[in-house]
């Protein structure tokens, strides 16, 4: 979603803020702004569009000062105009606020404030905060912020400055991620560690209800309810700066696709026990007894993470024989889900901040389930609030379309499956077989990546298509869904994923010579079945692109284009299949001139419901 960065120290703030915003741009990119204390008051610059627009504005009209806050926006309330861009101000311009999240009672508060004479200049919910803090101001900015927040319903991560209490930034968090960075004679606030990684590795993740007061020489964290001081642990970030840079690739998405041999290896590193045919997952915080006590599993997630959940359902039921249900996180809490204290809830999220997923996890916990997180971002809310979990260690994922997180999620879920299944019915030989297949995957992914030019040529053939169908069966039905999602989100081509056999119950009506159909057809247990589906498409003139794993006489003359993937055991075919599908989507989008890393209307981490 939106991104926040703030700085207080001895250096000139504007370049630091703009640089931080650029690193956050993947989180939201419809408008941006900064507010800097210039020695007399709060000076603000804003621009609609990308951060480069704001950069031009500050170059032509510089702002000088060593304390400031900044924001990149993904619109929720109000159009993406300069006027609606953050920071927002109080009537007297003495207070400026940047905000991530949604103020649910904004219209009620706005009416009350207007009745008291406040004049609003934007359509945003955020502006309410600026006026509310002004209303409560009595000399101390943190006191005014705390008093104001007591009236607010909804979610927020905010940073506030004021010329009436000029040497500090006040930041507060409820439901929207925020951290503070500790430097030498300087402090930072940010919604995401990438914004400040160039300057410090020492951070404190704020919890809901925390209010941080940052000055040049120190910081304090207060509790919003008690207004008393609290201690929070300092964490050290082990990401490098080059991990969040493009490193010679045209786009982050391409870099992240090509990182998969390494990211998949990193997910497994030190966790597989080849001899015992199982995995070691210390972070789960579950004993063998706890694992045996599980009666059923509910997996909840959104988008791409939901697709890896579908693969996990298949793996766990097949290998561990425990019943699994997969739920869209956004639907889960609005039903009356059957969850007991013998239910294990697995929560999958790259960012660890997706609002729907977090809410679903809390709902499951409230109903007595134990929740474990399969998360990439260390220190994220889901990672902290879950009862245990497995970090996927894929490294920072900046491209809005998720790629390496997906393959690493499947690996983490496979390790969980191994651990659970070996305690139940899976034999040591079967376990070893799975471990052996896992060890081969990094090099097999590399083999696929080496064939990228073939996929680029196929993309050239299909770049003008208006529709695509992706079909797979068994483990590869989720891979079909994922392939279709990748294509639609970055190229804006309509694409649907279907279980291949379901095609004849409806989608077959769409097939003609203009419809490209991508079949995921490795030599697995359902290969013969998928051959019949390919014939059905061919008989109706459809154009077939197939992912295959060996020369198949049964497919002779049926394929218009063929992409070869290496052979693996059935459960890992979607890992290998997803890589060429990511590349196909990437190359098609690039050839159509789309902005691959920042597709329209999307945001990397969806922290609103
Ligand atoms: C698709 C994509 C989204 C996310 C979804 C969940 O490429 O990136 O569908 O997968 O928003 O995000 P996380 O995994 O961060 O909870």
Residue 472 neighbours by CB distance under 10 Å? 31
Is residue 609 over pLDDT 80?
A: no
> Are 411 and 458 within one domain?
no
Choice from 402, 413, 479, 489 to test ligand 1 binding pocket (greatest atom count within 8 A of CB) = 402
Phi, psi angles (nearest 5°) of residue 29 = -155, 45
Task: Give me the sheet containing 388-391, strands edge to edge.
Answer: 324-328, 296-301, 343-349, 370-375, 388-391
Phi, psi angles (nearest 5°) of residue 61 = -140, 80
Q: Is residue 97 part of a domain?
A: yes
> Are 125 and 222 within one domain?
yes
Confirm if 53 and 71 have CB atoms less than 8 A apart.
Answer: no
Centre of ligand 1 to C-alpha 301, Å, is: 8
Q: 449: Cβ–Cβ under 8 A, 6 or more apart, which residues?
A: 257, 258, 260, 261, 579, 583
Residue 137 to residue 438: CA distance in whole angstroms: 59
Q: 295: Cβ–Cβ under 8 A, 6 or more apart, which residues?
A: 322, 323, 340, 342, 343
Final residue of a structural domain among 182, 203, 237: 237
What is the per-residue pLDDT for 608?
A: 66
Centre of ligand 1 to C-alpha 304, Å, is: 5
What is the per-residue pLDDT for 238?
A: 82
What is the per-residue pLDDT for 335?
A: 85
Confirm if 100 and 191 have CB atoms less than 8 A apart.
Answer: yes
Q: What's the pLDDT tens digit per position in 318-361? A: 999 999 999 999 999 888 888 999 999 999 999 999 999 999 99
Is residue 606 over pLDDT 90?
A: no
Is residue 254 over pLDDT 80?
A: yes
> Are 216 and 286 within one domain?
no
Centre of ligand 1 to C-alpha 305, Å, is: 6
Q: Is residue 544 part of a domain?
A: yes
Active-site residue, selected from the candidate residues 22, 50, 255, 604:
604
Average pLDDT over residues 155-180: 96
Q: What's the pLDDT tens digit per position in 205-240? A: 999 999 999 999 999 999 998 778 999 999 998 877
Average pLDDT over residues 284-304: 96
Q: What's the pLDDT tens digit per position in 539-580? A: 888 999 999 999 999 999 999 999 999 999 999 999 999 999
Q: Is residue 176 part of a domain?
A: yes
Closest residue to atom 3 of ligand 1, CA basis? 303
Residue 556 neighbours by CB distance under 10 Å? 8
> Are 253 and 146 within one domain?
no
Q: What's the pLDDT tens digit per position in 260-277? A: 999 999 999 999 999 999
Confidence of residue 257 (pLDDT cuts 50, 70, 90): very high
> Are 231 and 254 within one domain?
no
Choice from 191, 304, 403 to test ligand 1 binding pocket (greatest atom count within 8 A of CB) = 304
Confirm if 13 and 39 have CB atoms less than 8 A apart.
Answer: no
> Are 39 and 159 within one domain?
yes
> Are 68 and 34 within one domain?
yes
Q: Is residue 601 part of a domain?
A: no
Choice from 26, 257, 303 to test ligand 1 binding pocket (greatest atom count within 8 A of CB) = 303
Is residue 419 annotated as part of the catalytic site, yes or no?
Answer: no
What is the per-residue pLDDT for 28?
A: 66
Tell me which residue has tokens 């991530």: 100
Is residue 1 over pLDDT 70?
A: no
Of residues 194 and 581, more confidence is placed in 581
Q: What's the pLDDT tens digit per position in 61-70? A: 999 999 999 9
Q: Which residues line ligand 1 (CB under 6 A)?
A: 302-305, 349-351, 354, 357, 401-402, 485, 489, 605-606
Q: Cis omega (within 30 of 0) on the bond before 87?
A: yes
Q: Is residue 469 part of a domain?
A: yes
Residue 21 to residue 38: CA distance in whole angstroms: 20
Confirm if 90 and 126 have CB atoms less than 8 A apart.
Answer: no
What is the per-residue pLDDT for 248?
A: 85
> Are 402 and 475 within one domain?
no
Closest CA to 467 of 422, 406, 512, 433: 512
Confirm if 257 and 583 have CB atoms less than 8 A apart.
Answer: yes
Mean pLDDT computed over every residue of the chain: 94
Position in ligand 1 atom list of the atom nearest CA 486? 7
Closest CA to 484 of 470, 472, 466: 470
Centre of ligand 1 to C-alpha 603, Å, is: 9
Q: Is residue 308 part of a domain?
A: yes
Q: Is residue 602 part of a domain?
A: no
Q: 496: Cβ–Cβ under 8 A, 6 or more apart, which residues?
A: 468, 469, 470, 484, 507
> Are 228 and 305 within one domain?
no
CATH of the domain at 26: 3.60.20.10
pTM for this model (two decimals): 0.87
Residue 21 to residue 196: CA distance in whole angstroms: 10
Centre of ligand 1 to C-alpha 599, Å, is: 13
Tell me which residue has tokens 């030498």: 184
Of residues 83 and 79, more confidence is placed in 83
Closest CA to 237 of 377, 74, 344: 377
> Are 471 and 379 within one domain?
no
Final residue of a structural domain among 445, 479, 501: 445
Domain count, the chain: 3
Burial class (CB in 10 A: 0-12, 13-18, 19+), 226: exposed
What is the per-residue pLDDT for 13?
A: 97
Residue 302 to residue 323: CA distance in whole angstroms: 20
What is the per-residue pLDDT for 366?
A: 95
Is residue 75 over pLDDT 80?
A: no
Q: Tell me, what DSSP letter sits at residue 87?
A: P
> Are 166 and 295 within one domain?
no
Structure tokens that stand for 488 in this block: 């639609």
Of 74-78, 122-126, 215-219, 305-309, which gets the smallest average pLDDT? 74-78
Average pLDDT over residues 33-58: 94
Is residue 2 annotated as part of the catalytic site, yes or no?
Answer: yes
Position in ligand 1 atom list of the atom nearest CA 306? 10
Percent helix, strand, coil in the chain, to 5, is 40, 20, 40
Instruction: State percent of the chain over pLDDT 70.
Output: 98
> Are 251 and 302 within one domain?
yes
Residues in the chain: 609
Centre of ligand 1 to C-alpha 135, Å, is: 39
Active-site residue, selected from the candidate residues 2, 302, 319, 531:
2
Q: Is residue 604 part of a domain?
A: no
Instruction: State percent of the chain over pLDDT 90.
Output: 84
Q: Which domain holds residue 495?
A: 453-591
Closest residue to atom 7 of ligand 1, CA basis? 401
Final residue of a structural domain among 197, 217, 237: 237
DSSP 519-584: EEE-SSTTHHHHHHHHHHHHTTT-EEEEEESS--GGGTTT-SEEEE-----GGGHHHHHHHHHHHH
Burial class (CB in 10 A: 0-12, 13-18, 19+), 216: middle
Is residue 2 over pLDDT 70?
A: yes
Average pLDDT over residues 462-486: 97
CATH of the domain at 489: 3.40.50.10490
């Amino acid at each position: 979603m939106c991104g926040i960065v703030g700085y207080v120290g001895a250096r000139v703030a504007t370049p630091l803020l703009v640089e931080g915003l650029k690193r956050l741009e993947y989180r939201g990119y419809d408008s941006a702004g900064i507010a800097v204390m210039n020695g007399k008051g709060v000076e603000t610059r804003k621009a609609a569009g990308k951060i480069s627009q704001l950069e031009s504005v500050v170059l032509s009209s510089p702002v000088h000062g060593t304390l400031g806050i900044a924001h990149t926006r993904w619109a929720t309330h109000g159009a993406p105009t300069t006027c609606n861009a953050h920071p927002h101000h109080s009537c007297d311009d003495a207070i400026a606020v940047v905000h991530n999240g949604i103020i649910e009672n904004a219209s009620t508060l706005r009416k009350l404030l207007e009745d008291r004479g406040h004049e609003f200049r934007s359509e945003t919910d955020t502006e309410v905060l600026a006026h509310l803090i002004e209303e409560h101001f009595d000399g101390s900015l943190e006191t005014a912020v705390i008093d104001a927040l007591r009236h607010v319903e909804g979610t927020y991560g905010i940073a506030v400055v004021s010329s009436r209490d000029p040497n500090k930034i006040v930041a507060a968090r409820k439901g929207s991620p925020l951290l503070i960075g500790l430097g030498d004679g300087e402090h930072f606030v940010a919604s995401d560690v990438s914004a400040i990684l160039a300057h410090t590795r020492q951070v404190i993740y704020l919890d809901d209800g925390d209010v941080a007061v940052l000055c040049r020489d120190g910081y304090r964290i207060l509790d919003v309810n008690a207004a008393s001081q609290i201690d929070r642990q300092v964490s050290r970030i082990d990401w490098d700066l080059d991990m969040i840079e493009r490193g010679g690739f045209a786009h982050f998405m391409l870099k992240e696709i090509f990182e998969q041999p390494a990211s998949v290896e990193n997910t497994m590193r030190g966790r597989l026990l080849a001899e015992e045919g199982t995995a070691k997952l210390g972070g789960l915080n579950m004993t063998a007894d706890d694992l045996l006590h599980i009666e059923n599993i509910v997996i909840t997630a959104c988008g791409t993470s939901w697709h890896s959940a579908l693969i996990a359902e298949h793996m766990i039921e097949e290998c561990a024989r425990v019943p699994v249900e997969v739920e869209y996180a956004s639907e889960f809490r609005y039903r009356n889900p059957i969850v007991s204290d013998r239910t294990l809830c697995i929560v999958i999220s790259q960012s660890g901040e997706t609002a729907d997923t977090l809410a679903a996890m809390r709902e499951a916990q409230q109903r007595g389930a134990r929740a474990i997180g399969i998360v990439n971002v260390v220190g994220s809310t889901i990672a902290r609030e879950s009862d245990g979990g497995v970090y996927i260690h894929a490294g920072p994922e900046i491209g809005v379309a998720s790629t390496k997180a997906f393959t690493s999620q499947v690996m983490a879920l496979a390790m969980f499956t191994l651990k659970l299944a070996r305690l139940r019915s899976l034999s040591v030989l079967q376990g070893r077989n799975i471990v052996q297949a896992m060890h081969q995957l990094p090099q097999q992914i590399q083999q696929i990546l080496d064939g990228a030019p073939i996929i680029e040529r196929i993309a050239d053939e299909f770049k003008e298509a208006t529709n695509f169908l992706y079909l797979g069966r068994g483990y590869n039905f989720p891979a079909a869904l994922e392939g279709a999602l990748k294509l639609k989100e970055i190229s804006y081509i309509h694409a649907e994923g279907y279980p291949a056999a379901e095609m004849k119950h409806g989608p077959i009506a769409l097939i003609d010579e203009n419809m490209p159909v991508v079949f995921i057809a490795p030599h697995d247990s359902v290969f013969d079945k998928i051959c019949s589906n390919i014939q059905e498409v061919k008989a109706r003139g459809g154009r077939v692109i197939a992912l295959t794993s060996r020369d198949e006489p049964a497919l002779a003359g049926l394929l218009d284009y063929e992409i070869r993937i290496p052979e693996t055991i059935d459960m890992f075919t979607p890992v290998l299949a997803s890589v060429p599908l990511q590349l196909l989507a990437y190359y098609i989008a690039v050839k159509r001139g789309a902005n691959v890393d920042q597709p329209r209307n999307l945001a990397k981490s969806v922290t609103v419901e």
